[in-house]
Structure 1
Amino acid sequence: MIFEIDHLLRKMGRRSKTPLCFVTAEPYLGHFGLGGVGKSRRLMEDEFAEKDIKALCSATVDEIIPGRVKLNDGTELPFNYSMFAPPFRGVDAIINSGLGNPKGWLMVDEYYRLPKHQNIYGVGVSVGIMPVEPTPVPTGVPKTGNMTTNMAKLAAHNIAADIQGGSKIAYPVTEIGVVCLADMGDSASLMVAKPALPPRQQTILKKKRWVRWAKLGFERYFMTKMKLGATYLPG
């Protein structure tokens, strides 16, 4: 989002009058909750430096008041516009049911079932994944739409096997790969990590203008597929 704001301000000729600051719990730029992906740290640090965007890592927020945010180290940041995403937690339904861990995440086996309740499946954001490594500020593993789609297909197959008979597919969440097309203002980056968690069999990270066009094309394809209910199509 901050790259998109930077790009818009430059198009308006107002970037030189508008300081930007990025606050993150990550230990470094490009960590992504995945321990980095290839050269992601270098790429992100170079992008922030070239675009003159200030970054504060390993940061937590103590208080947000009108026009100002206070960080855990005593830093105060004035702002005219800000957006902060609070730490993720599970939904109340899972927390109150006792099926998840204290944070409200479902811990599933390699079939996406709850080990103690094998008629209950979990996929996507509801699934808990252990962090890749300890960090000064706890940093969770992201669950992207691409990962969620892969989990859902596997769970659907296994649910059908429960009902109709047949063999299940075992594919632990830690082995699922991720493909991400990330907007970066006037360009975008392609990130492929298979599996998402290290050590990885394949890693691709490219920042190219064509990736932005590819994302626009995929968005139109995906939305059309959803409107038609053509879930059998790839992607």
Structure 2
Amino acid sequence: MPHSTPEGTTRRHDVVVIGGGAAGIAVTASLLKRRADLDIAIVDPAEQHSYQPGWTLVGGGVFSADITRRPMRDVMPDKATWYASLAETIDPERATVSLADGSCLGYQRLVVAPGLVLDWGAIDGLEATLGENGVTSNYRVDLAPYTWELVQSLKQGKALFTQPPMPIKCAGAPQKAMYLSCDHWRRQGRLDHIDVSFCNAGQVLFGVADYVPALERYIERYGIEKAFGERLVSVHGPSRTARFAVNDEQGEREVERAFDMLHVVPPQKAPAFLAESGLGNEAGWLDLDAETLQHARHPAIFGLGDASGTSNAKTAAAVRKQAPVVAENLLASLKDQPLKAAYLGYGSCPLTVEKGRIVLAEFGYGGVLQPTFPSWINDGTQPTRRAWWLKAKQLPWLYWNGMLKGREWLAAPARRDGA
């Protein structure tokens, strides 16, 4: 059960973890696997914990939404103290965290893993029409089933899929929704009657060039229009029109597109309290050493997950590799020992290009490929059924029963140079 502290008092813990998502639970479990006597507190107001990578498959009719969520109390490590409140401010000089309920927590070490903020309000008119008028998003668990309803019901017309400026969590998710939709329409014989456009604020299909050829083949197969440099700025649900800011060789302007189905990925930003607490970089993201995941200016603070300012892909797979690094380095810092564990930027993006096949993109800092398996087992640059089996059958089980339990299969930290 959640713990409460009388307002105005300070309760102290060895480690305070902000965030009860994938990052917060995984790193707490990893710490307790290494030192069961640690006094760890987790701060998060959510009553439900979500397996967010599953929402794409909910939107594609593969999963039901309910199997992607569990009560927070069921995933909370038994030895951790849970504060069901929001963290409002961090005082790194006093080593305290102030909570929304008025209480205050002191720490020896702090782990910051609050996730990022989906900025739905940044797109004019969007919030008023989400879940109706053909407007949906797999980035909300309550909307992902509506995505599948729209896909099943659309017989002809225009389907728009948007991608905002980076960074976003799971950079492949905007395309995954599109490919799964197109594959269903193809199988139903409807695709020739549906105009599909990928309205991407960026200028490339995917940020790591090795995976682009396979994706381009599916773009061609499904007849998708690539509308690069188009950023969604407003939606009018009743008229089913969307406006985009366009920046191309013709200059800056706005264009209007009609739609029968609009899948929106909202702009995303760091939680404001990070910058307000002096922990953010210039863009507001948590300012971390890219290898050790220790804060750049406050050595008692570590971080991981989507709020981090490191340049890796923001995915659950990144967290799986980050959690052991933070756990090992945090414990070393408590003993005033050198930080020897290194995170090399690993992220994985299973690009669901059709029902039954996935391009399993695995890469680290600088786009360097970091495949888990040799190519004779799975060639990550090509769509394979084996990668689909991994995504749809194995990864959810590994998430609930491995990663959130501190089991670090295939996730041993790299070693820092000279360590």
TM-score by length of 1: 0.80
The whole-number CA distance in structure 2 between the counterparts of 1:148 and 1:102 is: 23
Equivalences, count: 215
Letter of the structure 2 residue corresponding to residue 209 of structure 1: R
Please show how residues 54-203 of structure 1 align to structure 2 within 5 Å.
54-66=225-237, 67-73=240-246, 74-109=254-289, 110-129=291-310, 142-164=313-335, 166-171=337-342, 175-186=344-355, 187-193=357-363, 195-198=364-367, 200=368
Please, which runs of 5 or more residues in structure 2 have no aligned partner? 1-176, 247-253, 372-379, 411-419
Question: By how many angstroms is 1:152 displaced?
Answer: 1.8
| 2:381 paired with 1:208 | no
Checking the alignment, whether the CA contact within 8 Å between 1:225 and 1:233 is kept in structure 2 is no
Distance 1:169 1:222, change over 3 A: same
Question: By how many angstroms is 1:100 displaced?
Answer: 0.5
| 2:200 paired with 1:24 | yes
The whole-number CA distance in structure 2 between the counterparts of 1:27 and 1:42 is: 15
The whole-number CA distance in structure 2 between the counterparts of 1:190 and 1:68 is: 34
Question: By how many angstroms is 1:185 displaced?
Answer: 1.6
Aligned partner of residue 19 in structure 1, secondary structure: strand
Letter of the structure 2 residue corresponding to residue 26 of structure 1: G
| 2:398 paired with 1:222 | yes
Letter of the structure 1 residue corresponding to residue 225 of structure 2: K
Letter of the structure 2 residue corresponding to residue 29 of structure 1: L
Question: By how many angstroms is 1:155 displaced?
Answer: 0.7
Checking the alignment, whether the CA contact within 8 Å between 2:243 and 2:255 is kept in structure 1 is yes
The whole-number CA distance in structure 2 between the counterparts of 1:45 and 1:117 is: 44
The whole-number CA distance in structure 1 between the counterparts of 2:309 and 2:348 is: 19
Distance 1:55 1:148, change over 3 A: same
The whole-number CA distance in structure 2 between the counterparts of 1:224 and 1:152 is: 15
| 2:410 paired with 1:231 | no
Distance 1:101 1:224, change over 3 A: closer
The one-character-per-residue Cα deviations of 1:143-200 (angstroms, maximum 9, x if unpaired) are: 22111221121011111122345442252x5x3233332211232112222x3424x3
Letter of the structure 2 residue corresponding to residue 86 of structure 1: P
Letter of the structure 2 residue corresponding to residue 54 of structure 1: E
More strand by share: 2
Q: Which runs of 4+ in 1 moved over 3 A?
A: 164-167, 201-204
TM-score by length of 2: 0.47
Aligned partner of residue 269 in structure 2, secondary structure: coil
Letter of the structure 1 residue corresponding to residue 392 of structure 2: L
Checking the alignment, whether the CA contact within 8 Å between 2:233 and 2:243 is kept in structure 1 is yes
Letter of the structure 1 residue corresponding to residue 230 of structure 2: A
The whole-number CA distance in structure 2 between the counterparts of 1:68 and 1:221 is: 40
Aligned partner of residue 213 in structure 1, secondary structure: helix
CA RMSD across the alignment: 2.4
The whole-number CA distance in structure 2 between the counterparts of 1:2 and 1:220 is: 22
Letter of the structure 2 residue corresponding to residue 69 of structure 1: A
Question: By how many angstroms is 1:233 displaced?
Answer: 4.4
Say which one has the larger Rg: 2
Select between 218-227 and 77-86 the one with higher mean Cα deviation.
218-227
Residue 107 of structure 2 corresponds to which residue in structure 1? none
Question: By how many angstroms is 1:202 displaced?
Answer: 5.2
The whole-number CA distance in structure 2 between the counterparts of 1:65 and 1:30 is: 29
The whole-number CA distance in structure 1 between the counterparts of 2:394 and 2:302 is: 29
Question: By how many angstroms is 1:11 displaced?
Answer: 3.3
The whole-number CA distance in structure 2 between the counterparts of 1:96 and 1:11 is: 51
The alignment-based identity, stated in percent, is 19
Please, which runs of 5 or more residues in structure 1 have no aligned partner? 131-140
